[in-house]
């Protein structure tokens, strides 16, 4: 196995190649992964990329080096028996499904193929991986060779973060997996509010995008904390402070965000239960 995507020689099977796995694949191919290394299984059989083989089921497919499971958690229970023959003793199983723990994956994938030695890890990517600006959190044990292979694959996607404690992955999922959607919802609310103040929809949209990009970039590169950066914008008694006071009133923003992440985590648990866990 090699250290670059251009000469990546592991065979990757994407079982489920929708929005999330598709975004990862898009980035891998853009960074030089040979499409012949990838096979996708998706219900529709719709093409995923030039020269990537697509199948509608796993029947007859060879055991890959890396099996990436990208179906919805609630779809997994009915698909596990179809997926398990794809797991060889050396196959690195990579699940991106929210909520389903490694122990449950191992139990489900052993139902028809007891490949106890296959390493199983979970990753939590997010959609900005398509531009190499994603966050991918990885949890689970694997041999050094598998670790090197996975590092090569994940590095071009953005920030890769190892998580020692799998039980924290639900919180991670709410923050980094779901987070982009919460951020976009905030962007939409800003643009709409600016419209209520008389800005045209086009101006509100363009200015919201540009402002959030600049603020996010500053947050990424600054040594200051988020509250410190907010204080830099706000002067006592000024316009910004008047707005911040509304967000802080009765801890409104913090309570709203707390409820948002908790709802996501709660739903993760429900979906895992639907997948036969818990």
Handedness of CA 160, 164, 168, 170 (dihedral sign): positive
Compare residues 19 and 249 and give the one whose CB is closer to ligand NAP: 19
Q: How far is the CB of 97 from ligand NAP (least distance, A)?
A: 4
Rounded to whole angstroms, how far apart are CA atoms 45 and 75? Answer: 17
DSSP state of 271: H
Q: How far is the CB of 177 from ligand NAP (least distance, A)?
A: 4
Compare residues 146 and 178 and give the one whose CB is closer to ligand NAP: 178
State the residue for tokens 């006071």. 245
Phi, psi for residue 55 in degrees, rounded to 5:
-125, 155
Rounded to whole angstroms, how far apart are CA atoms 247 and 17? Answer: 39
Q: How far is the CB of 91 from ligand NAP (least distance, A)?
A: 18
- Compute the chain's Rg from CA coordinates: 21
Rounded to whole angstroms, how far apart are CA atoms 235 and 246? Answer: 15
Compare residues 155 and 207 and give the one whose CB is closer to ligand NAP: 155
Q: How far is the CB of 44 from ligand NAP (least distance, A)?
A: 3
Compare residues 81 and 148 and give the one whose CB is closer to ligand NAP: 81
Compare residues 15 and 194 and give the one whose CB is closer to ligand NAP: 15
Enumerate the β-bridge partners of residue 14: 40, 68
Rounded to whole angstroms, how far apart are CA atoms 169 and 173? Answer: 6
Query: Contact at 8 Å (CB) between 67 and 15?
Result: yes
Compare residues 155 and 234 and give the one whose CB is closer to ligand NAP: 155
Compare residues 27 and 42 and give the one whose CB is closer to ligand NAP: 42
Q: How far is the CB of 186 from ligand NAP (least distance, A)?
A: 16
Residue 103 half-sphere exposure, CB side, CA atoms within 13 Å?
4
Strands 38-41, 53-55: pairing kind = parallel
Crossing angle for the helix pair 252-274 and 239-248, to the nearest 10 degrees: 50
Q: How far is the CB of 270 from ligand NAP (least distance, A)?
A: 13
Binding-site ranges for ligand NAP (CB under 6 A): 16-21, 41-44, 46, 70-73, 75, 79, 96-98, 124-127, 177
Q: How far is the CB of 47 from ligand NAP (least distance, A)?
A: 10
Q: Give the residue closest to ligand NAP by C-beta.
A: 18
């Amino acid at each position: 196995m090699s250290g670059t995507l251009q000469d990546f020689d592991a065979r990757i099977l994407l079982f489920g190649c929708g929005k999330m796995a598709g975004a990862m694949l898009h980035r891998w191919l853009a960074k030089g992964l040979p499409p012949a290394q990838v096979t996708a299984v998706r219900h529709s059989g719709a093409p995923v990329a030039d020269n990537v083989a697509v199948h509608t089921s796993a029947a007859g497919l060879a055991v890959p080096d890396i099996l990436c499971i990208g179906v919805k958690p609630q779809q997994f229970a009915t698909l596990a028996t179809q997926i398990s023959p794809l797991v060889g003793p050396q196959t690195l199983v990579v699940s991106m499904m929210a909520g389903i723990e490694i122990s449950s994956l191992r139990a489900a994938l052993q139902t028809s193929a007891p490949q106890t030695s296959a390493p199983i890890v979970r990753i939590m990517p997010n959609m900005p991986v398509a531009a190499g600006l994603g966050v991918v959190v990885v949890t689970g044990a694997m041999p050094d060779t598998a670790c090197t292979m996975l590092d090569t694959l994940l590095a071009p996607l953005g920030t890769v973060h190892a998580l020692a404690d799998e039980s924290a992955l639900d919180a991670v999922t709410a923050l980094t997996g779901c987070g982009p959607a919460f951020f976009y919802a905030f962007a939409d609310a800003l643009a709409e509010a600016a419209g209520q103040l008389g800005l045209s929809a086009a101006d509100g949209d363009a200015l919201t995008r540009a402002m959030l990009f600049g603020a996010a970039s500053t947050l990424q590169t600054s040594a200051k904390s988020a509250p410190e950066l907010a204080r830099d914008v706000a002067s006592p008694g000024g316009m910004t402070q008047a707005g911040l006071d509304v967000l802080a009133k009765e801890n409104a923003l913090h309570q709203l965000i707390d409820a948002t992440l908790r709802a996501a985590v709660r739903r993760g648990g429900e979906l895992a239960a639907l997948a036969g866990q818990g």
